[in-house]
Amino acid sequence: MSQSLDEGPFFHGTTAELNVGELLTAGRRSNYRPEIVMNHIYFTALVDGAGLAAEIAAEIAEGHRLPRVYQVEPTGEFENDPNVTDKKFPGNPTRSYRSTAPLRIVREVTEWTRLTPEQLQMWRERLSALRSSERGEIIN
């Protein structure tokens, strides 16, 4: 399945401080809906997409958390992320994927397009609206 989806490289955005070689696994709470334990680990082939996820995670996190982006390597099969693929965007223009298998940390990425304060505010408002509507449902 994953051989035909994308060649990568792949990236994951988070607030976790991780080391090369560590594994990211499914089974953690959603950054967007903390009441949901995720059955998959999510990643993208777009470094700025991972940066966006990291910055949103930092906005939502309790305390002062830094956004971090890591280049990752899938250790097993993966699929298109159904939360965005053909649901919100036709096809997979965000090159977003998910896997039940762990992702191995290859390196930390320090350069991506950062959100402006205005963009962060827009995302705060979007997330607030999504949480109170059916459109915010996560396909887990």
Q: Does the residue 59 lie in any domain?
A: yes
What is the structure's pLDDT at 133? 59
Total domain count, the chain: 1
The CATH number for 35's domain is 3.20.170.40
Domain span at residue 110 reads: 10-129
Q: What is the pTM of this model?
A: 0.84
Please count the other Cβ atoms lying within 10 Å of the Cβ belonging to residue 114: 13
Q: How confident is the model at residue 131 (pLDDT cuts 50, 70, 90)?
A: low
What is the structure's pLDDT at 135? 55
Q: What order of strands is seen across the sheet that includes strand 96-99?
A: 23-24, 103-109, 68-74, 10-14, 41-44, 96-99, 79-80
Cα separation, 70 vs 41, whole angstroms: 13
Q: What is the pLDDT of residues 62-78, one digit of tens each?
A: 777 899 999 999 999 99
Q: Does the residue 138 lie in any domain?
A: no
Q: Does the residue 139 lie in any domain?
A: no
